[in-house]
Structure 1
Amino acid sequence: MLQSLSIRDIVLIEALDLEFGSGLTVLTGETGAGKSILLDSLGLALGNRADSGLVRQGTEKAQVTASFASPAKGSKLAATLAENDIEIEPGEPLIIKRSVKADGGSRAFINDQPCSATLLRMVGGQLIEIHGQHDDRGLINPKGHRALLDAFAGVEGSAVRDAYDAWQSAKTALEQAKQDQDSAEQDREYLEHSVAELSKFAPQPGEEEELALERATMMKGEKLTGDLEAIRAAFDGSNGGLASLRAAARRLDMISEEHPLLAEALEALDRSIIDAGEAEDKLHEAAAALSFDPQRLDDMETRLFDLRGLARKHRVEPGKLSNLLVGLQNKLAAISDGGRSLEELEACLARAKKSYIAAAEALRAQRAKAAKALDKAVAGELAPLKLDAARFETLLEELSEEHWNKGGMDRIEFLISTNPGAPLAPMGKIASGGELSRFILALKVALAEEYGLKTIIFDEVDRGVGGAVASAIGDRLSRLSSGAQLLVVTHSPQVASKGDAHMLINKSLSGTVSRTDVRALDNEGRRQEIARMLSGADVTDEARAQADRLLEGV
């Protein structure tokens, strides 16, 4: 809801601060008083083109500040602000500030955060609808008609959206599988050759490291062979060192009881024999590990060379050749298995499409029922608005398959005919300015409960009518404003009398300078203004009495 509007130096407005409440606010004034300037100022805040012609003569810049109620949590507006990193604390008003310089430059802010004109238009469109003589947005735009009909029907459409997403996912999966299959078929010869080559070689995980280590160990053994043989000779045989130690221990054992030192010497000798035995075992193990076999070394070097050559050929690390083989085997198997996989994916796609069609057809049935109800509701509003000969119809047309989408298989558009026998056509192409505003009002009233109203501005919705028709327009505006905020620019006293609040737009002349001001009217002020609207410049007692009757009828 629009809470306040502050205008500085725009055309004839020097400084203006307005407060707005809920319900119906009417704005009146003589022709040329500046009602369009007020709407242009609000349009500037909502993202309209920043025209330097709006800047009041003699000043450097014009500025408009509009304050709105805090966006509802979870609303589309709150989501839009969050997506653009504009944070608003709960309960904090949304403040839009827009300025334009005399040289044409402009700046825009939302809650003191700079924003683009594109974002400002997006946010503005979610805050206020302006319906005027040249309206090309809101209910005139057929892009929004489907959502309006669905809201009227009370359908949410999630089943269709989910079915559409599943259908598109199945389609994508099938297309990807076909691409993979085509690519695999082109690579079949390469795959068969590579699998045969790698399978024959049979690379093992970690094989390069093992071969390199064994090769290095064997080459060390070649260098140490002489030393190891000499050391082992000192241990081996009947004359070796270990045999001599054992012989000495046997003889010492026979005399060890003759003296304590002999017993201690035997214990030390036994330990030496054990340590020497362990040393001999380690020497044998080392000799085995470092054994040099020229044939084995040649085989290892050949294997290692071939292993690294294959890795270079396939552009992988040697340790990943075994994984590469598995991957290539799987790809080759997929070629043979691809036909069966494609059949399964095609069946899945057919099921997903069938589910989408079923959900979309169910939605269409709900829409068709709602369309008839909406047409009837709008028709009931046309005659009182002096549109007796007009017809309204909701077009529900099946789209071709390439245009099916998350919203279903239907194109929906509101059509009208203003003359008997004339064909139905889009609203914006058939109706005159006054007729169009009244059509919009009739549709708004019909959609009032379901539409989810925001701030709506009607610019001269009563243009070209008076009397009973103007009263009917006033009644419908009053009804529509019961759950929303309406601002109505009007020349009709019947409409003006229905307002919950009344603002008078007045232009004054001071020397050669013209200024536009707006002031809120009290009860007597309203009486006088409605009397002026009834009688013209000279307000008569008769006009005041008629104004009283209009106000009493509210």
Structure 2
Amino acid sequence: MLAHLSLKQFAVVSEAELAFGPGLTVISGETGAGKSLLVDALGLLSGLRADSGVVRHGADRAEVLGEFSLEDVPAAREWLVANELDEEDTCQIRRVVRADGGSRTWINGRPVTLTQLAALAGCLVEIHGQHEHQALMSRPSQLALLDAFARTAPELEAVAAAANRWTDLLRERDRLSSQGDVSERIDWLAHQHAELERETLEPESIEQLQRDHRRQAHASDLIAACETAFARLGGDENESVTRSLGRVRAELQRVAEHEPRLSQVDAMLDTAAIQVDEAHALLDRVLSDLDLDPSAFDSIEQRLGRLHDLARKHRVAPEQLAAQRDAIEAELEELRGAGARLEKLDLEIEQARQQWRSAADVLGAQRRSAAATLAEATTALITELGMGGGRFDVALEPVDADKPDPQGGERVEFLVAANPGQPPRPLRKVASGGELSRISLAIEVAALGLDAVPTMVFDEVDSGIGGGVAEIVGQKLRALGASRQVLCVTHLPQVAAQGHAHYRVSKAASEGVTQSQVKLLDGKQRQEELARMLGGVELTPEARAAARRLLRDVD
């Protein structure tokens, strides 16, 4: 829901701050005062192309800022999260248009493209009037509205799941079929696999082999170093570490009674002696394991050579050869079973197609029933709205049933005959802006605002009507306001009286510059505005009485 709209240097508006609540908000004003500027501002926030003409004369830029509540707009929340633009329970859209025609856009303080803006705005606001961008002109939006009216969410989910299953199977068949005769490939892979199978390829085994190779390559140096260390640690020589530590301890123990701290030194040397003994024992074991065996070294070198040759052949590191072997084995199994899999796939694809067809038939039946109900209700409403003899139809056109379509087996086109005797034409081709607005209103009222967009804007929806029809238009807008936030620009008092809130746009010249002001009216001011709309420039007692009666009738 639109909570706040701010305009700065926008057309003839120097600065304006507007707060909006739920229900129906009407906007009135004298001709030329700039009533539709608010619609134009929302159009910019919806992603319309910027025009330097919206920049107020003498200013270098115009700015429009809208703040929306997201409490009941899960689609907008999901979009913001997916695009990493989310900010708690509100969304702020800001757009700046420069006098040179350039523009910039921000969502929650972060710059975005117009494509992103339009995608988000499509979840937040819908403008009905003489604008080609309104959502009901789009056939996908028409289908979405019909599905919402028919409450087909479970059926749509079933159709989409069946279509995805069908699509996956078709892709698998295409992939297997595109391989052609795979016998040569199988032979080649089998040879590669056998070659790899002859070696132990697990990374741990290769790592151990490399350690053994390094040890054999340096065996003589290792033996010499270990023998020298062994002798020096605990040999028979007088200078061995073990003997030296023993002599040092004996000297210290002899005088330790005169200095208590020498006992601590003796304890440390005792620990060191234990460590030296353990090191000596380990060196003994290492020496027993070391062996100068040229044949063993040659065997290790040959095996390492084979592994490196295989690694170069398969263009992987030696440690990745096991994974390469497993991949070849998996491909071999798939290719060897490709023929049988293809035969089985044909049966599975036919089953998936029938499952999709069955789900699509159920969905289509619901759509046809809902289409008839929606067409009847909308036709009755457009007659009430002053288009006597007009007719609204919902055409369901079948799509190719041999292709998996997650949207079902048909597409929707809204058709309208605005006058009796005329053939129905697509809604997007209806010429009259006033008729288009009223038809859109009738559709939304008939569908009870089920297209999920929380804010609906109607620009001059009452164009070309008056009297009792105008009162009905107002009543329908107010009824729509029970489930959606509705903003309506109007010049008819019968419509304005139905609003839950009322803004007046007025224009005045100051120092030779025309400016528009937007003001929220209280009870008395609203009565005066309705009287002006009823009686013109001179506010007569009769006009004021009629205005009071209009407001009283609504209450």
Establish whether TM, by shorter chain, passes 0.5: yes
Q: How many Å apart are 1:85 and its aligned residue?
A: 1.6
8 Å contact kept, 1:7–1:16: yes
Distance 1:208 1:525 in 2: 89
- 4+ residue runs of structure 1 moved beyond 3 angstroms? 188-199, 202-214, 289-293, 296-337, 401-404, 449-453
Q: Which runs of 5+ in 2 are unaligned?
A: 221-287
Distance 2:382 2:523 in 1: 32
8 Å contact kept, 2:456–2:485: yes
Distance 1:86 1:168 in 2: 33
**Is 1:165 paired with 2:164?**
yes
What TM-score do you get using the length of structure 1 for normalisation? 0.76
Q: How many Å apart are 1:419 and its aligned residue?
A: 2.8
Q: 1:537 to 1:187 in 2, by over 3 A?
A: same
8 Å contact kept, 2:73–2:124: no
Q: How many Å apart are 1:395 and its aligned residue?
A: 1.0
Q: Which runs of 5+ in 1 are unaligned?
A: 222-285
Distance 1:319 1:96 in 2: 54
Distance 1:433 1:325 in 2: 70
Q: 1:469 to 1:301 in 2, by over 3 A?
A: closer
Distance 1:495 1:94 in 2: 30
Output the amino acid matched with 1:19. A
Q: Which residue of 1 aligns with 2:400?
A: 400
**Is 1:552 paired with 2:549?**
no
8 Å contact kept, 1:27–1:504: yes
Q: Which residue of 1 aligns with 2:275?
A: none
Output the amino acid matched with 2:118. R
**1:26 alignment partner, SS class:** strand
- Further displaced range: 329-338 or 106-115: 329-338
Q: 1:305 to 1:378 in 2, by over 3 A?
A: closer
Once the two structures are superposed, residues 159-211 of structure 1 have per-residue CA deviations (whole angstroms, 9 ceiling, x without a partner) of: 111111211222222223334x4373452554566678889xx5566799989
Once the two structures are superposed, residues 302-345 of structure 1 have per-residue CA deviations (whole angstroms, 9 ceiling, x without a partner) of: 99988876776666778988987787677566555321121122
**Is 1:35 paired with 2:32?**
no
Output the amino acid matched with 1:424. P
Alignment of 1:37-186 (within 5 A): 37-68=37-68, 70-72=69-71, 75-90=74-89, 93-156=90-153, 157-179=156-178, 181-182=179-180, 184-186=182-184
8 Å contact kept, 1:208–1:307: no
8 Å contact kept, 1:203–1:321: no
Q: 1:189 to 1:9 in 2, by over 3 A?
A: same
8 Å contact kept, 1:453–1:483: no
Distance 1:311 1:143 in 2: 54
8 Å contact kept, 1:184–1:331: no
**1:420 alignment partner, SS class:** coil
Distance 1:133 1:514 in 2: 26
8 Å contact kept, 1:9–1:63: yes
Q: Which residue of 2 aligns with 1:253?
A: none
Q: Which residue of 2 aligns with 1:440?
A: 440
Distance 2:294 2:503 in 1: 109
Q: How many Å apart are 1:537 and its aligned residue?
A: 2.3
Q: 1:501 to 1:186 in 2, by over 3 A?
A: same
Distance 1:528 1:327 in 2: 83
Distance 1:436 1:207 in 2: 77
Q: Which residue of 2 aligns with 1:532?
A: 532
**Is 1:354 paired with 2:354?**
yes
Q: 1:497 to 1:195 in 2, by over 3 A?
A: closer
Q: Which residue of 1 aligns with 2:364?
A: 364
Q: What is the RMSD of the two structures over their aligned residues, measured on CA atoms?
A: 3.8
8 Å contact kept, 2:414–2:427: yes
Distance 1:330 1:45 in 2: 54
Q: Which residue of 2 aligns with 1:461?
A: 461
Distance 2:322 2:496 in 1: 87
Q: How many Å apart are 1:476 and its aligned residue?
A: 0.8
Distance 1:525 1:300 in 2: 100
8 Å contact kept, 1:527–1:544: yes
